[in-house]
Amino acid sequence: MTAEELKTRGFEEELIFSASRSSGAGGQNVNKVNTKVELRFNVEDSQLLTPEEKELISAKLAAQISNDGFLIIVSQTERSQLKNKETAISKFYNLLAKALTRRKKRKPTSPTKISKEKRLEGKRKNSEKKGLRKKIE
């Protein structure tokens, strides 16, 4: 599932935003403007996610989900609150898309005939090299 497909569901209604003072570079602007944006999304109470999707998200994003069931995303890289809000939203959609995509099952393969021959040839050469190091009787 891609981020664009998720955007069509309308998650914006369920997102909770809060702004606070940011840390880091920015000079006096940092000290007086609330530019840091914290996005909160309650995974369990979401009406837009199926139970299977909720389970997947809870398992894969356990590190970002707080004890009270909120997925928390923080953005404070930009100097304006609006840009930080946009960044947080895009992070949210990318994170959800990544969590909801299923991993492809690995098909076990066996070594090819040529790779086996190359490996054996290398072993033969190595054996020959070490054999030349022996003392002559």
**Span 74-109, pLDDT tens digits:** 998 888 889 999 999 999 989 988 888 888 899 999
Write down the pTM of the prediction.
Answer: 0.69
* CA–CA separation, 18 and 134 (whole Å): 76
Instruction: Please report the domains of the chain, with CATH numbers, ordered by start residue.
Output: 3-100 (3.30.160.20)
Residues 52-58, mean pLDDT to the nearest whole number: 88
**Residue whose C-alpha is closest to residue 12's, from 101, 107, 85:** 85
Residue 125 has pLDDT above 90, yes or no: yes
42 near 95, Cβ under 8 Å?
Answer: no
